[in-house]
Amino acid sequence: MADALIIGEVSDGAPASATLEGIAAARALGVDQVAVLMPGADSASAASAAIAGGADIVYTVADGPAADGEFDALVDAAQAAVTLSGARYVIGAKTLTGRDVMPRLAFRLGTALASDCSAVSLDDSGRLIATRPVYGGNAEASVACLGSVAVASLRPKSVDALESDASRSGEVLPLEFEANVRTRVLERVEEAGEGVRLENARVVVSGGRGLGGPEPFDSLRELANMLGGAVGASRAACDAGWVPSGYQVGLTGKTVTPDLYIAVGISGASQHMAGCSNSRTLVAINKDAGANIFKEARFGVAGDWQKVLPAFMEQLHELMG
Partner 1 sequence: MTLHIVVTAKQVLDPETPLSAFNVADNAVSTAGNIPPVVNGYDEQAVEAALRIKEAHGDAKVTVLSCGTDFALDVIKKPLAMGADELVLLQDAAFENSIDPTMAVAALTAAIRKLGDVDIVISGRQASDWDNAQVPLGVAESLGWAVATIGRKVDVQDGTARVERVLPDGHETVEAPLPAVVTVSNELGTPRYPNMRGIMAARRVQPTVWTVADLDLDGTASPAFELVSLKKPERAVQTEMIAGDDDADAGRKLALRLREERVL
Please say which residue, 53 or 207, places its beta carbon nearer to partner 1: 207
Please say which residue, 1 or 146, places its beta carbon nearer to partner 1: 146
Q: Which residues fall within 8 angstroms of residue 321, CB to CB, at 6 or more apart?
A: none
We find the least distance from the C-beta atom of residue 260 to partner 1, in angstroms, to be: 6
The H or E element containing residue 18 is helix 17-28
Pairing of strands 260-264, 281-286: parallel
We find the least distance from the C-beta atom of residue 296 to partner 1, in angstroms, to be: 6
The H or E element containing residue 231 is strand 230-233
We find the least distance from the C-beta atom of residue 170 to partner 1, in angstroms, to be: 31
Please say which residue, 83 or 315, places its beta carbon nearer to partner 1: 315
We find the least distance from the C-beta atom of residue 72 to partner 1, in angstroms, to be: 8
Cα 182–chain centre separation: 27
We find the least distance from the C-beta atom of residue 112 to partner 1, in angstroms, to be: 4
φ/ψ of 265, rounded to 5, equals: 65, 30
Q: Which residues fall within 8 angstroms of residue 249, CB to CB, at 6 or more apart?
A: 198, 204, 206, 232, 233, 234, 255, 256, 272, 275, 276
Please say which residue, 58 or 237, places its beta carbon nearer to partner 1: 237
Please say which residue, 83 or 245, places its beta carbon nearer to partner 1: 245
274: Cα within 13 Å, side-chain hemisphere: 25
